[in-house]
Amino acid sequence: MAPTPLQTRAFTLWANAYAARRLLARGDGEGYRACTDMVAAVATLPGPPTLRRCAVSTLHSLSAIPPDAPAPTPPTAA
């Protein structure tokens, strides 16, 4: 069974947050630009407002992702 659209969106958000966190750890400004781009993208996400609130919350939590965290794995159906 394939992942649901919400699972796919959530994974994409997490993967982007992971990538932005890795860039932030470099400290060269590229991570900041990536995060800014992500915030702009979140504002245009289709779906319920809850998904956008979740996305913004995730973006605000980037500092909680350790720079050496393992890469995210795609969702699978339960």
Asked if residue 36 is part of any domain, the answer here is: yes
Give a three-class secondary structure readout of 36-52. HHHHHHHHCCCCCHHHH
Is 68 within the bounds of a domain? Answer: no
Domain that holds residue 56: 14-63
- What are the tens digits of pLDDT across the range 35-44? 667 766 666 6
Residue at 2 is within a domain: no
Residue 59 lies in a domain: yes
What is the per-residue pLDDT for 75?
Answer: 63
Domains of the chain: total? 1
| 3-class DSSP assignment, residue 17 | helix
* pLDDT, tens digit (0-9, with 9 covering 90-100), for 9-58: 777 777 777 777 777 766 666 666 776 677 666 666 666 666 667 666 76
Residue 12 tokens read as 């994409």
Q: Which residue has the tokens 């159906």?
A: 77
pTM attached to this predicted model: 0.43
